[in-house]
Amino acid sequence: SFGSGLALQGNKALIGMPATKNMSAVYVFIFNGNSWVQGQKLVADNPSLSYGFGASIAISDNLALVGVPGGDVGEVYSFSFNGSTWGNRKKFSAHDSRHNFGRFVILRGNAAVVVATTDYHFQISGDTFGSAAYFFTLEGSQWIERQAIASTDWRGISVALSANRLLLGAPTDPTHDDGVGYIYEFPF
């Protein structure tokens, strides 16, 4: 699964290998002007419980997010770069502990979008949902959830970010069998 998650910024590449227990990791490579040299290996707090660590990765400036969508509840790890190594590992999740949280991560400065995707519907507090997108901001050393958007018509989801615009693609709608999909636009 090496290469399942991938992020590139300048001469730094983070490559995910979301495998089974005790094997999931993100490998840091640095381009030295001639070739890519493997450096640090990033892992979760408890690798035996972090199935899927590295399935999604995002870098912005000196921050990196690593999605861990596997298991019953997904989570995201945040790492900071001090000029030579990635450290200051912090873990966060959604308020509703959604399955597959961290399937996609997008990071710009201290703002992040984390997506939880599913191919089926599930219920939380009597409400039925498909996939969801969560908006976070980094305040001090804590990631604060600002907004959660969930919908029953998001079975699977794609994400794109440019300038100040976020697009969420919902390729299927369970209420239609004719291949209808939707694109949702949000300011970012």
CA dist 66 and 98 (Å) reads 16
Q: Give pLDDT tens digits along the chain (188 positions).
A: 888 899 999 999 999 999 766 789 999 999 999 999 999 999 988 766 677 899 999 999 999 999 998 766 789 999 999 999 999 889 999 888 667 889 899 999 999 999 887 655 555 566 555 678 889 999 999 999 998 887 766 655 778 887 788 888 877 666 666 667 778 888 87
Question: What is the SS3 assignment for 54-90?
Answer: CCEEEEECCEEEEEECCCCCCEEEEEEECCCCEEEEE
Cβ atoms of 131 and 155 within 8 Å: the answer is: yes
Tell me, what's the pLDDT at 171? 72
**Cβ atoms < 10 Å from Cβ of 188:** 15
Tell me, what's the pLDDT at 179? 67
CA dist 35 and 121 (Å) reads 46
Tell me, what's the pLDDT at 112? 93
